[in-house]
């Protein structure tokens, strides 16, 4: 990916269009399919006072394709072009740098920063982005463990798997947690199931039942039962098998 798309380029795009590029990027990053309905739900969350239809989202996909930011095949989905991926990575970089700044320097909790970063990400200049990056020590991950793209769009990826895919006796390190649900993040924090925590799967209940985990951090070690819905959004690196 080239570094031809700058913060100023991103700022000139309509807010809804650049948000759409960002959500395509994030869905693909998670290995999820980009559907019209999935995009409508995400964009609607940013525009609660209006009503978006699938037809509106389809027109947005077509506009992004006409501008060279995406390849859109009706009923088949949408993919980012190199130009679109660069623009999306730029906004994702803003967002994740801002999240880390809010946690480290303003003391915000990790369940608050996604919404605040959404409000700020479109406004910052390239100079501000560079200064923020330097202040934070050129980080590669945000508070939730999501990779921060470099200025040229590259990310450092670590092979992970879902917590729910561990086998009894496996030990692992939590690396990444979905930031889509603030209430879920607060609950994970209460369990200390956060990036850097060491987890051991002690027991898997049958028929899709909960997982019994030992969760260890620097200052605590406790056992908790975690349901599959929660375990599916926590990404880990296996330490031993």
SS3 string of 145-198?
Answer: CCECCCCCCCCCCCCCEEHHHCCCCCEEEEEEECCCCHHHHHHHHHHCCCCCCE
Q: Which two tokens stand for residue 146?
A: 């999501």
Measure the CA angle with vertex 56, ends 50 and 62; round to 5°: 145
Q: Which residue segments constitute the domains of the chain, with CATH numbers given? A: 1-156 (1.10.10.10), 161-240 (2.30.30.90)
Going 112 to 114 to 115 to 121, the CA torsion angle's sign is positive
Spell out the alpha helix ranges (H) of the chain.
7-12, 15-29, 36-46, 54-66, 82-106, 113-120, 126-135, 182-191, 228-231
DSSP letters, 34-48, are: --HHHHHHHHHHH-T
pLDDT tens, the chain, 241 aa long: 444 555 566 677 888 898 999 999 998 888 888 888 888 888 887 776 667 888 899 999 999 999 999 998 877 778 999 999 999 999 999 999 999 999 999 999 999 999 899 889 988 888 999 999 999 999 999 999 999 999 888 888 888 999 999 999 999 999 999 888 899 999 999 999 999 999 999 999 888 889 999 999 877 889 999 998 999 999 999 985 5
What pLDDT, on a 0 to 100 scale, did the predictor assign at position 5? 58
Handedness of CA 114, 117, 118, 119 (dihedral sign): positive
What was the pLDDT predicted at 28?
Answer: 87
Q: What is the dihedral of CA 144, 139, 8, 92, to 10 degrees?
A: -20
Q: Is 216 helix (H, G, I), strand (E, B) or coil?
A: strand
Residue 28 DSSP code? H
- Interatomic CA distance for residues 139 and 148, integer angstroms: 7
């Amino acid at each position: 990916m080239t570094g031809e798309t700058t913060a100023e380029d991103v700022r000139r795009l309509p807010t809804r269009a650049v948000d759409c590029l960002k959500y395509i990027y994030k869905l693909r990053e998670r290995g999820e399919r980009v559907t019209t309905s999935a995009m409508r739900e995400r964009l609607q969350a940013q525009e609660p006072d209006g009503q978006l239809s699938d037809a509106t989202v389809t027109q947005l996909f077509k506009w992004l394709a006409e501008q060279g930011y995406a390849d859109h095949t009706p009923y088949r989905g949408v993919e980012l072009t190199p130009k679109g991926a660069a623009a999306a990575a730029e906004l994702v970089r803003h967002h994740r740098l801002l999240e880390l700044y809010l946690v480290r320097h303003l003391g915000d909790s990790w369940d608050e920063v996604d919404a605040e970063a959404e409000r700020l990400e479109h406004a910052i200049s390239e100079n501000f982005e560079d200064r923020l990056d330097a202040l934070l020590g050129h980080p590669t991950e945000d508070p939730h463990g999501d990779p921060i793209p470099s200025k040229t769009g590259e990310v450092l990826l670590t092979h992970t798997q879902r917590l729910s895919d561990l086998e009894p006796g496996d030990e692992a390190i939590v690396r990444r947690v979905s930031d889509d649900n603030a209430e879920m993040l607060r609950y994970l924090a209460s369990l200390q199931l956060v990036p850097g925590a060491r987890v051991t799967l002690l027991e898997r209940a049958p028929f899709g039942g909960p997982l019994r985990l030992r969760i260890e951090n620097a200052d605590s070690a406790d056992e908790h039962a975690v349901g599959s819905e929660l375990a599916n959004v926590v990404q880990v690196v296996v330490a031993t098998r």
